[in-house]
Amino acid sequence: MKGVMIQGTSSDVGKSLIVTALCRMFANDGIRVVPFKSQNMSNNSYVTNDGKEIGRAQGIQAEAAKIEASVWMNPILLKPRSNQDSEIVYLGKSLKTLSGRGYRDTFYEKGLDVIKKSLDQLSSEYDLVVIEGAGSPVEINLKDRELVNMKVAELADVPVVLVADIDRGGVFASIVGTLELLEPEERQRVAGVIINKFRGDISLFEDGINWLEKKTGIPVLGVLPFVENHMIDGEDSLSLNNQFSSRKKGNLDIAVIWLPFISNYSDLEPFLYEVDVSIRWVKQASEFGSPDAVIIPGTKSTIHDLKSIRDRKLDFLLQTHIENGGYVVGICGGYQILGEEIIDEAGSDTGIPNRKEIGLGCIPGTTIFYQEKETVRAAGVYHENTGLFADRKLEGFEIHLGKTVLHEEGCSFLSLENGKADGYFGRNGQIIGTYLHHLFHNDEWRNTWLNLIRKSKGLHTKETTYIREHVDKRYDEIAHRLKEHINYEMLNDIINKWCKK
């Protein structure tokens, strides 16, 4: 197999971004390149064309590679449902929920088998596989049954490039320490090092490069600058939090309720392109303030996160916000939370069949959780009762177990292409609930909603910001940035020589 694996000295060193950049860089050079991550742990997911669920990062990397995403690019997705348990999504379909111990003890052989099949499938379809690792390859307590780092590099038989984050400090110790803890045969597979997130004059790090190469005998392929607001979807909400906090304040203040098991937070990223929008997380009641709009995002554990909202006294602030004319949007789990009642009929949300919970009561509807999960790309137009442009198409995807039944007629938000109605549209758009993830990625809808808020504040309306054009340009920009600061010729030489061994 021809390929390369990007591993890190720890989590959040920038592996996903580097793989994304490599995919676009190789694709721009006419190479049929494909991303791969054997096992992903994230509640931020991506729905493929055939209605399968994979990690969002691999979906984005596929876009960067200019190909359609498939389950072979991320055969195992772990979606945390509590501090102990995760849902296992296997080849795009929900399989079961297991504890960390249960997964480790019972899933290893099944995991190895599907990883081998996935690598064989991808190598038969593409010229080059760019593989992403997870965390650190030297978690000693987990190494004997790991499915994400050196075991995958061994199965694929590809060289490894080790990435370290200099911004957090201790970069020399993290690289040398990682190499020292690898087994000799694993250590021989590491063919290059990349230093990521460097701030300042890179020429001042030349002595550091020389020391590392002399100490380890491994070439430093590049020192990459810190990229502010790269606008590429992150694997976890920390990356989005960093982008929120670095934004200048705008005229519109949007508060996003932070949820312990938040999912599909990529729903929020389009607001980063709106220059007059200030978007922020709200974790505690003291942070709520007086926002113009509130968004309750999706969650992997609706009833748990509803309880969390109540425990933090945010339910009263939300209800007061609505009474005072403030705007609210609930997406998926957020939509369910805004309803009157939640019934966990199958125990698929809490593990307790027929558990009932009173919702926030802002939307006249009841949600019932069933066993079967719905995962589908979806599209539709505004429902006729909204009074909005009936022919304007909105696209996104649905990932949910619960189904919500409204208690009032004529208050649906969308008419979907499958003939069903979705969501709730109340008080002329002041309160909206929907199962459509990536609602705000629809540029004209996002602008319509923001203009409703602008008008309510006496501000001038604005023209639509079309972000879809920007996203593809960002792939090219990060690829160009990587190529500027990496020894591309040496990287290609490493890949080609290893393939011919």
User: Could you tell me the two tokens for 335?
Assistant: 């939509």
Place of tokens 């493929």: 48
Strand order in the sheet with 85-90: 39-41, 76-80, 85-90, 93-99
Q: Is 321 a catalytic residue?
A: no
d(CA 193, CA 191): 7
Rounded to whole angstroms, the Cα distance separating 228 from 17 reads 12
Sequence letter at residue 117:
K
Rounded CA Rg of the chain: 23
Strand partners, 431: 328, 426
Q: Do 264 and 375 touch, CB atoms closer than 8 A?
A: no
For 411, other C-beta atoms within 10 Å of its C-beta total 21
Burial class (CB in 10 A: 0-12, 13-18, 19+), 479: buried
If you ran DSSP here, which 8-state letter would residue 283 be given?
A: -
Question: Is 437 annotated as catalytic?
Answer: yes
Answer whether 227's CB lies under 8 Å from 1's CB.
no
Secondary structure (H, E, C), 212-281: HHHHHCCCEEEEEECCCCCCCCCCCHHHHHHHHHCCCCCCEEEEEECCCCEECHHHHHHHHHCCCEEEEE
CA distance 404 to 400: 11
Cα–Cα distance for residue pair 92/89, rounded to 1 Å: 6
Distances (CA, A) of 391 to 381, 395, 396, 444, 463: 6, 13, 16, 12, 19
Measured CA to CA, the distance from residue 38 to residue 474 in angstroms comes to 26
Q: Are strands 414-416 and 277-282 parallel, antiparallel or unpaired?
A: unpaired
Of the candidates 23, 332, 362, 411, the residue annotated as catalytic is 332
Task: Judge contact between 19 and 6, C-beta under 8 A.
Answer: yes
- Structure-token pair, residue 255: 């508060």
CA 145/CA 107 separation, integer angstroms: 10
DSSP code at position 458: T
Amino acid occupying residue 486:
I
Residues 6+ apart with CB under 8 A from 108: 145, 147
From the list 230, 304, 400, 437, the catalytic residue is 437
Positions annotated as catalytic residues are 332, 437
